[in-house]
A and B are shown apart, each in its own frame.
Chain A
């Protein structure tokens, strides 16, 4: 079994912490993993992505082939569309619905949402509002991870919860609880 995931968003939105949690869970589960990250210039407010490959078999390429991605997990709706040629025809996009506009030529929002809605499998949510409602405004990425969790399959929702606890442990119990709460709300949201 294998799962190929693209994590994406805008530099500074915290996609690498999502990757770290999935990585922790995958390692603990004894899976093979390759995770290609973006460092350097693009981190300055530009588009960023990470190719995350999980498998029970050996993984060779650090990059996912076109049409091979099982789940695109995106902190931003337009960014979720950037990797469309890499999404499998049977794949799912899990994305924040709220645009992050830091460019003058951001596309028409209604057209953007319509294009997303026309795809076979899309889960979207205003993750920032959900995080804020949960009293953890900085936990939007954990809400997103929760939404994506049921689609990752090769790692269980519970394994991801455990990884969150491990990764945030040194920041104290309150932070762990807040992030688990945000994650759980994401899981609930994706069931709807």
Chain B
């Protein structure tokens, strides 16, 4: 079954001349044609994805900010065409609401994009995995931005596992141009095969700039709601799951013939290199004279191409940025005994992002002379800005808690996680979005006192509210600090979903009105803040303290904007 042939080149129409019927898969109806106008733009990987999506007829992006994915949605928010078309781009409360809203837009027949950092995949996993079972109507791309080396993250999980888990195709661009081109390809594939497509990038591509040849925007899809049944009752889900399994051969075939998966050969070499995503760049950087390379940017893995590469060489080196997803699968494809090198064998480091140096070493290349590390050098970790309200919150918390020998402060995810570092050293934990409240609750259930949670405003609406309801229903003895700076600060100051609603949310969830306290975190208010903290810690039940003062970064930005508006009105 040779069904799909080609997802990037404008000239190559899908299925041309080789159309075959397939009971459940409609394919050849409307391949997106992209007319490139030879205009080059200097774009971040994230921006290339955003522009690629807009130009491929996107109708809505749904996302929660998270490094390194944030700039995709920000680009769409400020893009002229997107504004004129009214493309949805407002931030969502969390990745799950984003995923579900995008699935709804797809149901209605339009093209939707969901963006998140890798750990956001955990948050939306329920909706994500099941969207493969329901299938899609309008094209649906799920973009996961992984963070090998954990530049701004708590782990380096590899989203390609999620693609395999959900049994859907995965695209992994190697550069900014491919990132742009793949958006149209992935939307087409999604619509033709009726599945969501996962697009996986890494920090180094997301935040690296290069010239990208871009085209003109095509029209959006019109409203055309699905007439298929998306009700995943067991009886229907079983049938749909079989349908999904039935599409696997087509996914596989698409990978085998994908122009994104290409082979390069060099004479006289007996090492086959499987280079995935940006791993390809590091191989090319080092092997200027050519090599036997199978570049992989589309999954499921092209097993036939891999077997062929193995047959032509004596050993395989797998170069992939992230976890050894491919290395493990290649072992399965080639069977026991075939020499495979990679992260599992120690030829490449088991952790951290790839570098041109680590790949050179794995290729057995000599290294040139380098300077030793400097002697007069100290680490310079990030820190809370001078004048930031979170600083005053930690100063107050530390002062009050010093009186309690057994206290613990359970932290959460945002700028205020930096309160774990000197000079504050206030936090005992930071695990995932919202875990501060629920971990404090569990610890309080076990008898720990005082159990304090500190969580930011955006993180609270992302995943803290449900935990607070649990605590209220259990009358847990916890003190929750919602440090409200009126923005999503760590990712650069995006709108926060709950602004102006926090007291109402807490009261609505059942926190007693006299135990919802608002303070202004400023040094001059320290006596009042510490008094209130002490009172609420002593209260045997759920109390919420909301220190509220705008992030100094967004405050400065807003002041500049006001000044500008004032000048414009003169």
Contact = CB atoms under 8 A, between A and B. Distances in A.
Interface residues of A, number: 49
B570 to A, nearest CB: 15
B369 A89 contact: yes
A98 interface: no
Interface stretch (A103-111, A123-131, A133-141, A184-192): A103-111
Contacts of A82: 374, 377
A174 interface: no
A25 B111 CA distance: 37
B241 interface: no
Interface stretch (A35-43, A145-153, A154-162, A175-183): A35-43
Contacts of A81: 374, 376-377
Interface string B351-384: 0000111001000000111111111111111111
A66 B370 contact: yes
Contacts of B281: 60-62
A89 B378 CA distance: 23
Contact of B71 (A39, A112, A115): A39
A97 B257 CA distance: 56
B483 to A, nearest CB: 15
B557 interface: no
Interface string A28-52: 0000111111111111111100000
A85 B381 CA distance: 20
A115 B204 CA distance: 31
B303 interface: no
A8 B553 CA distance: 21
Nearest to B205: A62
B491 interface: yes
A69 B282 CA distance: 16
Interface in A81-108: 81-82, 84-87, 89, 102-108
A45 B391 CA distance: 14
A11 B205 CA distance: 21
Interface string B473-505: 000000000000000001110000000000000
Interface residues of B, number: 51
B370 A85 contact: yes
A41 B416 CA distance: 11
Nearest to A51: B208
B36 interface: no
Contact of B209 (A34, A61, A64): A34
B419 to A, nearest CB: 12
Interface in A1-59: 10-11, 23, 27, 32-47, 59
B385 A40 contact: no
B366 to A, nearest CB: 12
Nearest to A111: B376
Nearest to B206: A39
B28 interface: no
Contact of B282 (A42, A61, A112, A119): A61
Contact of A103 (B40, B152, B378, B491): B378
Contacts of B375: 111, 115
Contact of B372 (A47, A84, A86, A108): A84
Interface string B190-226: 0000000000000011011111000000000000000
Nearest to B45: A62
Contact of B278 (A62, A67, A103): A62
Given A39-B67, A40-B490, A45 B382 contact: yes
B42 interface: yes
A65 B371 contact: no
B285 interface: yes
A85 B368 CA distance: 11
Contacts of A42: 151-152, 382
Contact of A65 (B284, B356, B373, B385): B356
B374 A23 contact: no
A78 interface: yes
A167 interface: no
B209 A41 contact: no
Contacts, number: 146
B367 A102 contact: no
A169 interface: no
A42 B380 CA distance: 9
A39 B385 CA distance: 16
Contacts of B355: 63, 65
A46 B378 contact: no
B44 interface: yes
A35 B210 contact: yes
Contact of A62 (B40, B208, B367): B208
A86 B373 CA distance: 9
Contacts of A108: 376
A78 B375 CA distance: 10
B71 to A, nearest CB: 7
B357 A65 contact: yes
A44 B371 contact: no
B68 interface: yes
B378 A107 contact: yes
Interface string B262-296: 00000000000000001011101100000000000
B440 interface: no
Which has the most chain B C-beta neighbours within 10 Å: A37, A44, A87, A89? A44
Interface string B19-45: 000000000000000000000101010
Given A63-B204, A63-B356, A65-B360, A44 B415 contact: yes
Contacts of B70: 39
Contacts of B370: 66-67, 85-87, 89
Contacts of A36: 204, 207-209
A72 B520 CA distance: 44
A44 B376 contact: no
B494 to A, nearest CB: 13
A44 B68 CA distance: 15
B537 interface: no
A59 B278 CA distance: 12
Given A41-B382, A65-B356, A67-B367, 13 more contacts: A23-B42, A34-B209, A37-B44, A37-B208, A39-B67, A39-B71, A41-B67, A45-B380, A63-B282, A67-B368, A78-B377, A81-B376, A84-B374
22 contacts: A32-B210, A33-B210, A35-B208, A36-B208, A39-B67, A40-B491, A41-B382, A41-B490, A43-B382, A44-B382, A44-B415, A44-B418, A45-B382, A60-B284, A60-B285, A63-B282, A64-B356, A65-B360, A66-B367, A84-B373, A89-B369, A103-B378
Interface of B: 40, 42, 44, 67-68, 70-71, 151-152, 204-205, 207-211, 278, 280-282, 284-285, 355-357, 360, 367-385, 415, 418, 422, 490-492
Q: Which 9 A-B pairs have the closest CB atoms?
A: A40-B67, A46-B382, A81-B374, A40-B152, A107-B376, A67-B370, A44-B382, A61-B285, A60-B284
